[in-house]
Amino acid sequence: MNTLSFATKMRRFGRDTEGSVAVIAATAFLPVLLMTGVAVDFGRTNQARQELQQSLDAALLQGLNNKSNPVAAAQASFTKQTSMTSLQNAQATFQATPDGKGLTANATAQTTLMFGGLSGSSNVTIKAHSGGVYINAFTPQNATFSVGGASGMYWKQVDLHTVDATSKADTTVATFYYQMTNSSTYTGVSSGDVGKQIDLGSNYNDVYMAMTVYTDGCGPGMVPDPRNSGSSFACVAQGSSYTTTQKQCTGSYRNQTCQNVQVTAYAPQKSSSAGPTTYYTNVASAHPQLFIGVKNGNQGVTELPANQKPDIFTFMPCGGGTSNNVGYAWEDTPYSAGSNYPGYGTWTTQDFIFNVAVTCSNNNPNYPNNTGKLTN
């Protein structure tokens, strides 16, 4: 019969060290295990967050590259991007910025934690945000016109127009005139907004020129001066009065007295057959014999094909930079020169030759370059 007292038994238990190493080791390993699990799950979560951010950024850029339907393009790209990752329940919303110049996006997804059971949760939700803007193509913002040569017998008015993308307002921003003064050499003078810097703005969606022609050599409401003589050519208002010298005779045929007297005469009315005829660079069928990219007068250039409307990049190119100088030649007749001239189908010399010096920017949102950049 064991008669050891309780106190004695407790003293013996305190001195007994068998198995204590295992207990101490197990107790010490538990926090190490927890720290390792936290580190592993932190790394997995951070990697998943990077995957979500990269997928969202790539999708946003895809949307910016498709301005016709950016949200749908971005959404399709996001679905494809996240399908190649370990992300679960990935969702994203894309929307245009209030000013229409870009896109913003927000996304959420879930990732599995390897040691989530230790904290009571096996999944964690991660979030991502992205934003970007469209990069616009370089288009003219200012233009300066210079007339390199204007000739011919027809009177011409050339108007430069811009069309506002928002209000649809069509505005004439510059006007040029040509008036023949010598009917032998078919030369004359140019006037109007020549040499002036013209502000085209940064919200147009069309820039074009209109050339109005009168074949009698005079502008609207004007007719050739009946007093023109020799090669000198001038115009007067239709129906206007003028003083001319007229020979008047009195007496019989054999005994006649004649003298020159001043009388009032009137200019004729303008004939409807004189015009006007108007050509437009933005109408495919109404820009006969328009040459773009003229160098050294009108030699060595190709005529703009018929029934083809030139866009802003053809009509007023920036040359891939912030400035450019382009030459043009425009014939003022609707018919070709015929086979008697080299070229067969156009005139060897056009009657309106001009240059346009442009300064360009990428501030016009109506001409996207189908590219974008991230802003955050």
Task: Say which CATH number the domain at 92 has.
Answer: 3.10.450
Quick check: helix, strand or coil at residue 312? helix
Domain hosting 116: range is 6-136
**Domain count across the chain:** 2
108-160 tens-digit pLDDT: 999 888 765 555 567 889 999 999 988 888 999 999 988 877 888 999 999 99
Residue 77 — very low, low, confident or very high, per pLDDT cuts 50/70/90? Answer: very high
Same domain, 98 and 192: no
Confidence band for 100, pLDDT divided at 50, 70 and 90 = confident
Same domain, 326 and 352: yes
Q: Same structural domain for residues 97 and 158?
A: no
pLDDT(222) > 60:
yes
Q: How high is the pLDDT of residue 33?
A: 54
Q: What angle do CA 133, 137, 139 make, to 5 degrees?
A: 130
Within 8 A by CB and 6+ apart from 62, the residues are 73, 74, 76, 77
Mean pLDDT of all residues in 45-62: 92
What is the sign of the dihedral through the CA atoms of 212, 216, 217 and 218? negative
DSSP category for residue 20: H
Angle between helices 20-64 and 70-83 (to 10 degrees): 150
Decide if 226 is inside a domain: no
Considering the domain architecture, whether residues 189 and 307 belong to the same structural domain is answered as yes
Query: What is the pLDDT, as a whole number, of residue 355?
Result: 85
Q: What do you get for the CA distance between the two ends of the chain, in Å?
A: 84
pLDDT at 300: 43
Closest CA to 281 of 350, 330, 210, 334: 210
Whose CA is closest to 56, among 20, 2, 24, 93? 93
- Tell me: the pLDDT tens digits for 252-308? 877 888 889 899 999 999 998 888 989 898 887 776 677 777 654 444 456 677 677
Which of 104, 136, 168 delimits the end of a domain?
136
Short-list 127, 105, 108, CA closest to 60: 105
Tell me which amino acid residue 182 is: N
C-alpha–C-alpha distance, residues 158 and 374, integer Å: 43
pLDDT in tens, 328-344: 888 887 665 554 444 43
Whether residue 61 contacts residue 54, with contact meaning beta carbons closer than 8 Å, is answered with no
Q: Are residues 131 and 197 in the same domain?
A: no
246 vs 263: CA distance, rounded Å: 7
Which has the closest alpha carbon to 364: 136, 166, 171, 143? 136
Residue 25 reports pLDDT greater than 70: no
Phi, psi of 289 (to 5 degrees): 55, 55
The residue length of the chain stands at 376
Whether 252 maps to a domain, the answer reads: no
Residue 60 and residue 209 share a domain = no
CA atoms within 13 A on the CB side of 193: 16
